[in-house]
Amino acid sequence: MSADDRGALLRRGRTHRTVRQEEAHLATAATDALTVDALPTPYDVETVTRPLNEHEREYLAVCEQALHRFRRSVIVAGKALEVIGRGRLYRETHGTFV
Rounded to two decimals, the pTM is 0.53
- Closest C-alpha among 32, 35, 2 to residue 19: 2
Residue-level pLDDT at 10: 56
pLDDT in tens, 10-56: 555 556 666 666 666 555 555 567 889 989 999 898 878 889 999 99
Give the CA distances from residue 65 to residues 60, 62, 74, 79, 81, in Å, rounded to whole numbers and listed in that order.
8, 5, 14, 21, 24
Rg (CA), the chain: 21
Give me the pLDDT at residue 22, please.
Answer: 63
12 Cα distance to chain centroid: 27
Check residues 58 and 16 and name the one with the higher pLDDT: 58
Q: 65-92, pLDDT tens digit by residue? A: 999 999 999 999 999 999 999 999 999 9
**27 to each of 71, 85, 88, how far by Cα in Å?**
21, 39, 42
